[in-house]
Structure 1
Amino acid sequence: MSDSGYLRYVALGDSQTEGLGDGDDVRGLRGCADRLAEELAKERPDVLYANLAVRGRLAGQVRAEQLAPALALRPDLATVVAGMNDLLRPRFDADEAAGHLEAMFAALTAQNARVATVTFPDIGRIAPLARPLGPRVLALNDRIRQAAGRHGVAVAEMSRYPVITDPRLWSPDRLHASPLGHAHIAAAVAHALGLPGSGDGWTRALPADVPPPSGPRALAAELRWAGSFLGPWLVRRARGLSSGDGREAKRPALLPVAVPVVPGQGGSGIGSRAFD
């Protein structure tokens, strides 16, 4: 099948694929997978799309809960993005997390699906308090590349471009992409897949903005972030809770894709900044 002929797209993953940071639970979430589906629909309006992702899921949970339903949908395109929640756990095992990803790569490609995944940015550049996790990110990314190479999986190299850690691409919690960030992720995956109209525009730095705070102001910002987001997250972990408890996939069935039209732009409204 040609890169422009995908008809059945299924997304597997956690909160990024579900779309947190791009919309909300009242108005609905969009997110990078929805945005990629919209790009596919530009070429094939009859494309069908399912999103099985659920926030908070570890790579093993994505495999256990989403792989079988994904295979049952017989996708010709699948995205598999997981591992960040594993990376944030105290007992992180890069081989174990990547092993679950590779099992999903193997099963989906064995069914003749084209599969794409991503590498993760250095979260220490997004949240300085997370700098000690840098070696974990490097280890997981290395194993993702190796596993992807063994199964012919396309890799969107989010880790290699400084723009991906620009604060404007991240929501206030610094764990989930902003709408602009989700557009960049979708553009990166489209580029890795070689979709018509895709390009490397997503790799370029954004226009200059107000310099980030430094000194006491920077410290105060970190403390506010820790109190507003890191603290509650740690409390949930200590209590054995997850943001995804009791939640189900937002789009478990293959459905047609509605491409939103932004006034003055046309198309999906993602913008040429990410997709040129």
Structure 2
Amino acid sequence: MNGNFKLISPSHWRLPKKGSRLADIDLFLSKELLAGIQKDNSLNQLIDASQLRGILSPVVGMPDIHEGYGLPIGGVAAFDLEKGVISAGAVGYDINCGVRLIRTNILAGQIDKAKLREIMDKIEEKIPTGIGKKGRRGELPFSLAEIVKGGAQKMVAEGFGWPEDLEAIEEHGQMAKADLEKVSPLAVRRGREQLATLGGGNHFIEIQEIEDIFAADLALAFGLKKGNLSVMIHSGSRGFGHQICSDYINILMKAAAREKIFIPRRGLAAAPISSREGQDYLAAMAAAVNFAFANRQLMTYDIREAFGEVF
């Protein structure tokens, strides 16, 4: 570890701001995890982010930190709303990549491997997996503009879920100010093809057993019981969000040059939040956020349908 890092408390390290670093860098890591980040570029990415205009202190590395594109995954950076910038690369390519847990009342002991395989086969029939895969659902009775405006709220209103689902989703499943007009035609095409698909990479659908309860009061509040099956979905905005990020990195790089903003690396391409380009990106980003909410909601519906056909 860089000798300039100071130990603040157990598992809390700080590199004070100095020179071109406009913010402190705080790491929340055990010694074992601390050793691990020496093997990739995540620390340098935090240092680069600390040099962006309007950055607020501290820039934070969380315990899951690992190398990303602009910011590392597990990196947190906040900017002054009036003086700061917005960075498409820092937000990342898979906008609103997220994890959803679906609880069930099915006991793990009630199913064998054959039944488990049957469930997975049903899910795979309904949800395409893998890089570039297109959705099997066909034409939905609403437009992409409605999807990116309404997110999971629109899906639930159309019957693809339960109203109580929205209570467990950030932003209640719909981020404001999304605008499809700020999205490129290529991103629109990719979005139309990939709704209700899982994707590749580290995305997954996993049937799990709740083996241990570590916080009984929280488990009770969430309806999680030891021995029950649950299903976890990890997916995001697919090619729609990826294309939005690609498009706006180019747009923000040009804006940064015009505004004479120092950009440490292309992955942190940024423009003032208040600029036309910054506001356009926020509107496009919100569209991708809502696409991801809708995507996970449709997969939740498909998984429930699959379970209903087996049990």
TM-score, structure 1 as length reference: 0.24
Structure with bigger gyration radius: 2
